[in-house]
């Protein structure tokens, strides 16, 4: 079926026709802004209404800001990302950047509608950007086939708004931490111009949520970490010394053996490494994806994004919306509270209370299992006698092996004292977290 077959021909004709309609806007010529192109957006920006903000003054300048100036970063070009890019571009936003580290898999094609069978294996960000730019005149989507961790503060600072459509809590928390690090405080007072709103969405099967985070002002991702289901972590000692459940064995291979032997290169993502659904469930923690949920949540994100871009025009979402259509249809909006001692946004030093007879393993377990910390692979260092000492580091196999005996030592045996500061680095945040150890 390389070239031909009726269905294939028909599909091409439909695509060609759709393309033509999009590019000439139905007017027969390739103009960027044909008559009435932005009428739908103008209705929101150039007249007032029952839901507008009390201070709102309708203006024709808002449309220019939307079309020319407003710079948006979309993180993720997957299920939510495709919907978001389409929504943003059709609403007139033209300066859109998109980051995604994934390539297109054939299983994405049922819902990630910017991709076609010929695109399988290509970077999602590149293909999505190319599609939007081709179909929507004047739109300039800039793709990055990279990880969010590959960019620094100066990159993120250029955006007016960041919209996240991610399937990873770690990446979401990292992004949240990055926006916190951009905040500027003068004499303890937050400089509002340093705030970049984060619009975050997530879906899982028929459920989803959309939320607005104004960093330093409203509840952040880490403030509400308890809302996420706890990830099951297996204690390292169990995995290393006495794996007794099938899950332990999989983790043993994933955490200890894989990094050393790298049987298929660095990554554990190829199909041949995952043949059992159970196994893939443990290793990749697969979440089902439903196209209609993505569409609903992306629509909500777009609306929140729109209202955050024109903060004087709308009363913004305050601040957390849940959606559920498992049985009937249910939505609910509530105001998530900031957490006083939030690790990410409170600027309050974090305390660790342990007996001096506790083992390093206990601290590690606390950092990963405590509902408000939920770290993934924390690396713990301490400054002792003026020297930095790595107590435990999991992500580099040789260091893991060398520091693993520390896990079974007590805090006292490790030479830690009451009031000792511990620096903890983890994939959930771009910043090193400082903890103060208190003996009880």
Active-site residues, by number, are 237
d(CA 412, CA 37): 70
CB 422 within 8 A of CB 382: yes
Closer to Zn ion at the Cβ: 339 or 404? 339
223 binds Zn ion (CB under 5 A): yes
Q: How far is the CB of 348 from Zn ion (least distance, A)?
A: 10
Q: How far is the CB of 255 from Zn ion (least distance, A)?
A: 29
Residue range at the interface with Zn ion (CB under 5 A); choices 9-17, 159-167, 334-342, 348-356: 334-342
77 binds Zn ion (CB under 5 A): no
345 binds Zn ion (CB under 5 A): yes
Residue range at the interface with Zn ion (CB under 5 A); choices 124-132, 134-142, 266-274, 339-347: 339-347
Residue range at the interface with Zn ion (CB under 5 A); choices 244-252, 283-291, 337-345, 356-364: 337-345
Q: How far is the CB of 221 from Zn ion (least distance, A)?
A: 7
CB burial class (10 A; 0-12, 13-18, 19+) of residue 37?
middle
Closer to Zn ion at the Cβ: 296 or 344? 344
How far is Cα of residue 197 from the mean position of the Cα atoms in its chain? 14
d(CA 251, CA 108): 27
d(CA 124, CA 417): 50
Residue range at the interface with Zn ion (CB under 5 A); choices 142-150, 285-293, 313-321, 345-353: 345-353
Residue range at the interface with Zn ion (CB under 5 A); choices 80-88, 108-116, 222-230, 364-372: 222-230
Residue range at the interface with Zn ion (CB under 5 A); choices 37-45, 218-226, 358-366, 420-428: 218-226
Q: How far is the CB of 18 from Zn ion (least distance, A)?
A: 44
214 binds Zn ion (CB under 5 A): no
Closer to Zn ion at the Cβ: 225 or 379? 225
Residue of the chain from 126, 222, 251, 400 that contacts Zn ion (CB under 5 A): 222
Question: One symbol per residue from 283 to 322: x for binding Zn ion (CB under 5 A), - otherwise; what is it?
Answer: ----------------------------------------
Residue of the chain from 67, 239, 296, 344 that contacts Zn ion (CB under 5 A): 344
* Count of residues touching Zn ion (by CB under 5 A): 6
Subset of 169-188 contacting Zn ion (CB under 5 A): none
Within 8 A by CB and 6+ apart from 382, the residues are 388, 389, 391, 414, 416, 420, 421, 422, 423
Q: How far is the CB of 177 from Zn ion (least distance, A)?
A: 10
End-to-end alpha-carbon separation of the chain, Å?
72
User: CB 384: neighbour CB atoms within 10 A?
Assistant: 14
Subset of 409-438 contacting Zn ion (CB under 5 A): none
C-alpha count within 13 angstroms, C-beta hemisphere, residue 120? 8
Residue 28 backbone class (left: φ over 0; alpha: ψ -120 to 50; beta: rest): left
Closer to Zn ion at the Cβ: 336 or 352? 336
CB 138 within 8 A of CB 37: no
CB 322 within 8 A of CB 331: yes
Q: How far is the CB of 371 from Zn ion (least distance, A)?
A: 14
Residue of 382, 378, 381 whose CA lies nearest to 417: 382
- The pair phi, psi for residue 101, each rounded to 5°, is -95, 0
CB 356 within 8 A of CB 372: no
Q: How far is the CB of 291 from Zn ion (least distance, A)?
A: 32
Q: How far is the CB of 376 from Zn ion (least distance, A)?
A: 18
363 binds Zn ion (CB under 5 A): no
The angle that helices 6-24 and 124-135 make with each other, rounded to 10 degrees, is 60
d(CA 439, CA 413): 14
164 binds Zn ion (CB under 5 A): no
DSSP letter, residue 3? S
Bridge partners (DSSP) of residue 334 are: 320
220 binds Zn ion (CB under 5 A): yes
Within 8 A by CB and 6+ apart from 54, the residues are none
CB 8 within 8 A of CB 16: no
Closer to Zn ion at the Cβ: 238 or 372? 372
342 binds Zn ion (CB under 5 A): yes
Closer to Zn ion at the Cβ: 210 or 298? 210
Residue closest to Zn ion, measured at CB: 342
Token pair of 437 as six digits: 């150890």
Closer to Zn ion at the Cβ: 222 or 426? 222
Q: Given the structure tokens 């949920």, which residue do they identify?
A: 293
Binding site for Zn ion (CB under 5 A): 220, 222-223, 342, 344-345
């Amino acid at each position: 079926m390389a070239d031909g077959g009726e269905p294939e021909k028909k599909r091409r004709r439909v695509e060609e026709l759709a393309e033509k309609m999009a590019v000439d806007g139905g007017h027969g010529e390739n103009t960027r802004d044909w008559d009435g192109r932005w009428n739908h957006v103008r209705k929101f920006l150039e007249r007032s209404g029952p839901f507008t903000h009390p201070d709102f003054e309708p203006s024709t300048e808002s449309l220019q800001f939307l079309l020319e100036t407003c710079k948006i970063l979309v993180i993720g070009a997957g299920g939510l990302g495709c919907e978001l890019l389409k929504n943003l571009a059709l609403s007139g936003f033209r300066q859109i950047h998109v980051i995604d580290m994934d390539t297109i898999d054939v299983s994405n094609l049922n819902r990630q509608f910017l991709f076609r069978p010929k695109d399988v294996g290509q970077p999602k960000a590149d293909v999505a950007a190319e599609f939007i730019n081709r179909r929507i005149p004047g739109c300039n989507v800039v793709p990055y086939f990279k990880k969010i961790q590959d960019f620094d503060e100066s990159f993120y600072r250029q955006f007016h708004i960041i919209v996240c459509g991610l399937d990873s809590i770690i990446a979401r928390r990292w992004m949240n931490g990055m926006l916190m690090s951009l905040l500027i405080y003068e004499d303890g007072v937050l400089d509002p111009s340093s705030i970049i709103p984060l619009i975050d969405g997530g879906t899982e099967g028929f459920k989803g949520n959309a939320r607005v985070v104004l960093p330093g002002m409203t509840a952040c991702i880490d403030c509400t970490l308890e809302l996420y289901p706890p990830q099951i972590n297996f204690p390292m000692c169990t995995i290393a010394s006495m794996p007794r459940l099938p899950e332990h064995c999989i983790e043993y291979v994933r955490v200890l053996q894989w990094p050393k032997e790298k049987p298929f290169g660095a990554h554990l993502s190829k199909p041949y490494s995952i043949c059992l659904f159970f196994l893939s469930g443990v290793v990749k923690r697969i979440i089902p994806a439903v196209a209609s949920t993505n569409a609903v949540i992306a629509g909500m994100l777009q609306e929140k994004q729109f209202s955050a871009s024109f903060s004087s025009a709308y009363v913004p979402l305050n601040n957390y919306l849940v959606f559920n259509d498992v049985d009937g249809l249910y939505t609910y909006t509530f105001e998530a509270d900031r957490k006083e001692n939030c690790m990410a946004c409170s600027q309050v030093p974090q305390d660790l209370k342990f007996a001096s007879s506790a083992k390093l393993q206990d601290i590690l377990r606390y950092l990963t299992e405590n509902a408000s910390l939920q770290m993934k692979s924390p690396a713990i260092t301490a400054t002792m006698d003026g020297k930095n000492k790595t107590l435990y580091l999991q992500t580099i196999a040789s260091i893991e092996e060398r520091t693993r005996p520390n896990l079974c030592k007590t805090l006292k045996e490790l030479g830690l004292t009451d009031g000792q500061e511990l620096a903890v680095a983890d994939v959930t945040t771009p910043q090193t977290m400082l903890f103060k150890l208190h003996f009880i």
